[in-house]
């Protein structure tokens, strides 16, 4: 999965910056710079995780690979795929890993934003 596939749409990104900047009493430009620093670190971790993800995807059902990636990116899927994931340990492991990685990424970003905010106070 490429970094391009993980990028949030431009309008959503700009709206998120606006909200975070307001919450942290920063200008949009200050918030953008902080997020760029955080994103650079997160991307380094994602590259490392991509190798593990590829290994897990290789162990999953080949005919379900694209559907698994789409599901973890969008959260949308068919009942058929959900049933398959429940009954297939390799596919279940892929989904669990990818969701966990997304959650950790969000947690790391939130932690850094809080730390920056606390430094400012």
Q: What is the pLDDT along the chain (121 residues), one digit of tens a residue?
A: 444 444 446 677 788 888 888 888 888 888 888 877 777 766 666 656 667 777 777 888 888 888 888 888 888 889 999 999 999 998 988 888 888 887 887 888 888 888 877 776 6
39 CB-side CA count, 13 A:
12
- Does any domain span residue 1? no
**Structural domains in the chain (count):** 1
The pLDDT score that the predictor gives to residue 79 is: 92
Would you state the structure tokens that stand for residue 111, as one six-digit string?
A: 């932690």
Q: What is the pTM of this model?
A: 0.54
- Does any domain span residue 102? yes
Question: Do you know the residue count of the chain?
Answer: 121
What residue numbers bound the domain in which 74 lies? 7-120
The pLDDT score that the predictor gives to residue 8 is: 47
Is residue 65 exposed (0-12), middle (13-18) or buried (19+ Cβ within 10 Å)? middle
- Does any domain span residue 2? no
- Does any domain span residue 80? yes
- Does any domain span residue 96? yes
- Does any domain span residue 21? yes
- Does any domain span residue 111? yes
Say how far apart CA 95 and CA 101 lie, in whole Å. 10
- Does any domain span residue 72? yes
């Amino acid at each position: 999965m490429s970094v391009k596939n993980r990028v949030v749409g431009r309008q959503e990104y700009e709206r998120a910056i606006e909200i975070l900047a307001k919450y942290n009493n920063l200008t949009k430009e200050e918030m953008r710079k902080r997020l760029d620093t955080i994103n650079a670190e997160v991307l380094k971790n994602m590259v490392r995780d991509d190798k593990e993800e590829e290994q897990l995807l290789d162990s999953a059902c080949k005919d379900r690979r694209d559907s698994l990636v789409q599901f973890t990116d969008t959260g949308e899927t068919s009942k058929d795929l959900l049933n398959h994931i429940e009954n297939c340990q390799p596919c279940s492991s892929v989904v669990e890993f990818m969701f966990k990685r997304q959650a950790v990424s969000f947690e790391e970003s939130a932690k850094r934003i809080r730390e920056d905010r606390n430094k400012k106070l």
